[in-house]
Structure 1
Amino acid sequence: MRLPLLLLLVAVVSWLLTGLIRRYALARNLLDIPNARSSHQVPTPRGGGLAIVGTFLAALPVLAWFDYLAWPVLVCLLGAGAWVALVGWWDDHGHIPARWRLLAHFAGAAWVLAWLGGPPSLSVLGVAVELGWLGYPLAALYLVWLLNLYNFMDGIDGIAAIEAITVCLGGALVHWLLLPGEPGWILPLLLAAAVAGFLGWNFPPARIFMGDGGSGFLGLMLAALSLLAARSAPELLWCWLILLGVFVVDATFTLARRVLRREKFYEAHCSHAYQHAARRIGVHRPVSLAVGLINLGWLLPLALLVAQGSLEGLPAVLIAYGPLVGLAFYFGAGVHNQGPARSQVNGK
């Protein structure tokens, strides 16, 4: 009974802490003011993602104490997570130039790889591939890209939280099915519980936003959990890549189009596919819920096929991403904003 109680406690504390952060943000006037690039119209408190950070990191020593978590993994997640959240919190309260943020992100990625013992091997069409020293820069780029794309994709109410919860539930399920004797499935459940408490305040229409501290933390944690799972079984990395498909495809497709147009891709914008979809519909809730449904109804079954050995990882990723690329193209990912939504409500 210890684990269910811990998960429930984490969700409840996250919910309570988010409410306290909201009161603090209102008292200090820490508001996200709408501008031309925003997907919301009402000034809204920000920084609620720190509740996710605090509850998840605080619960890690409990897992380690009861032997659900190795101590090096505890140091890995605690150090990198706290560092990235601190950098994001600082950026939320002021401004850190992009080059220094990126340097800080690579420092967090280096910490993750050092304490995980390096990047995992890959399973490509049934063949184990050891990347050697090349794996370190590739894994670092993967960690930093997921960190930043999660920040890019946190742009309408509830979308980042719903993505994290459904991806974590899927990651826990495939790990449990493939390696039922290992406790690696517990960490994704713990992160999902922490995010669920925050979602109670962020579900459309949002009463508080996650902020860069929370979104960057989530991106890094999801990337780190995927690498940790792959060290137990290389097939699990493909499963996580499939589950993260909505965010990976939208962010990458949008970035590629902006780079091809020689735009300053690192500047804020509102040209992601999900933002265009929200403007077409006029509200955020259907788009955020659709992301969760895609994750559970399309991507999770493919990830389960990979975990069960019925489908190879690389072909499964291509199959999973195909329709997502079509959706990104259809909704104009990377295309400039073509006008305001009909009746926008709060977003990031």
Structure 2
Amino acid sequence: MWWMVAFSFCTSVVVIPLIILMCRHFGWYDTTNERKIHKGNIPRLGGLGIIIAFTLSTVIYFTVSKSNSITHVLPIIIAGLIIFTVALLDDFLNLKAKLKLLFQIIATVIVLYFDFRFKKIFNFELPLWFSYTLSFFWIIGIINAFNLIDGLDGLCGGLSFLIISSLGIIFYSSDFNAKASAGVCFMMAAAVAGFLVYNKPQAKIFMGDGGSQLMGFMIAVLPLYNSSENFEYNKLLVMIVLVSIPALDTIAAMWRRTREHRNFMSADSRHIHHKLIALGFTKVQTLIFLLSIQVCLCLSAGLGMYLRHDKGSILLTAILVFMIFFYSSIHFIYYAVTKNNPVDITVLRNEQNSQKENK
């Protein structure tokens, strides 16, 4: 397994520069709009390098090891390829939101059919209809949450790496039978790590919608593997804590757009990273700040697993309440500061880039 984890990282590191050259040759650059912080021509197909590295490493690993688990991971690979391919086409063709949602639903139904779902909340076995409904909205929601949070160099990739690595550690330490599940997590995390080599500020490449939606899909589906009784007990709480940064940001965006009578898919510059930059953080400081919080969330999830059952539930609930308080505080501070002086993120971006160039 560890050889394939290293192979996944090396493949990602080697393939992505080739993708950068290809994007520059054909002029495949990320567009700029009111929610984007970058300027200039940045290639946008980093997700392609991630999925190539992950798919190659997992297929080789399960083939060489002759593990029966390959039949269990195939639905994830197939559904992930659907998510990535449609989002990749959207980068070029600007597909209608309903069409993108349709393929997200198809990919979700595939993994649900193969029994990737939440089965318990605490000690309560979920009725089948509720289990499938909860898991369906969980997967669709997390796919789009990670797509929305991808607006800052290294942010979506960094959050994804930390969360998937944490899932790998949880699987690896909780149950001997979950070693294959842990391997899949570690190989995906290694592929993302290879991408981050080129995505750290100043980014040479972005993951694009294909990459960000793939990350959301993997993070939503990977924990739905069968796992130890201890993880099953608090699985939903653990995952809500781990994805609380993009999840709270998405809930806020939905509320904001509903209140302003705007389309859910419309872009704006009031995501968490935009607000922190508007409050005076640089892009690098914003990235470090949010990733530091994510590290704390990952450690809290691990501690919640260690405490087990009710004690773990209390800790995880307290962490979630803190995150809601934290996000609300940033929201109110932002509006208090910008109430009489609205911040145009595009102007702010250009000012920061000019200051850097002058230095």
Q: TM-score, normalised by structure 2?
A: 0.87
Moved more, 21-30 or 221-230: 221-230
Kindly indicate whether residue 66 of structure 2 is the aligned counterpart of residue 61 of structure 1.
no
Q: Tell me by how many angstroms 1:178 deviates.
A: 2.2
Residues 68 and 325 of structure 1, relative CA distance in 2, 3 Å threshold: farther
Question: 1:224: which partner in 2?
Answer: 221
**Counterpart-to-counterpart distance in 1, 2:210 and 2:193:** 17
Gaps of 5+ in 1: none
**Counterpart-to-counterpart distance in 2, 1:10 and 1:289:** 25
Question: 1:281: which partner in 2?
Answer: 280
Q: Deviations over 1:209-252 (max 9, x none)?
A: 11011111110011110211558741334323222222212222
Residues 310 and 138 of structure 1, relative CA distance in 2, 3 Å threshold: closer
Question: 1:339: which partner in 2?
Answer: 344
Q: Deviations over 1:310-347 (max 9, x none)?
A: 463654443222232233223339979722326445xx
Residues 314 and 344 of structure 1, relative CA distance in 2, 3 Å threshold: farther
How is 1:162-177 mapped onto 2 (pairs within 5 angstroms)?
162-177=158-173
Q: Deviations over 1:28-81 (max 9, x none)?
A: 111123233321122211111111111112222223221566123222111101
Kindly indicate whether residue 29 of structure 2 is the aligned counterpart of residue 31 of structure 1.
yes
How is 1:1-348 mapped onto 2 (pairs within 5 angstroms)?
3-65=1-63, 66-67=65-66, 70-115=69-114, 117-124=115-122, 127-183=123-179, 184-228=181-225, 233-234=231-232, 235-281=234-280, 283-296=282-295, 298-310=296-308, 312=310, 314-332=313-331, 338-340=343-345, 341=348, 343-344=351-352
In the alignment, is the contact (CA less than 8 A) between 2:164 and 2:186 conserved in 1? yes
Q: Tell me by how many angstroms 1:138 deviates.
A: 1.9
How many positions carry a matched residue from both structures? 339
**Counterpart-to-counterpart distance in 1, 2:288 and 2:67:** 32
Q: Tell me by how many angstroms 1:191 deviates.
A: 1.0
CA RMSD of aligned residues (A): 2.3
SS at match of 1:37: coil
In the alignment, is the contact (CA less than 8 A) between 2:118 and 2:224 conserved in 1? yes
Question: 2:356: which partner in 1?
Answer: none
Q: TM-score, normalised by structure 1?
A: 0.89
Gaps of 5+ in 2: 354-359
Residues 97 and 314 of structure 1, relative CA distance in 2, 3 Å threshold: farther
In the alignment, is the contact (CA less than 8 A) between 1:47 and 1:208 conserved in 2? yes
Q: One-letter code of the match for 2:141? A: W
**Counterpart-to-counterpart distance in 1, 2:29 and 2:327:** 30
**Counterpart-to-counterpart distance in 2, 1:281 and 1:51:** 34
Structure with larger Rg: 2
**Counterpart-to-counterpart distance in 2, 1:43 and 1:281:** 25
SS at match of 1:277: helix
Q: One-letter code of the match for 1:192? A: A
Identity, in percent, stands at 21
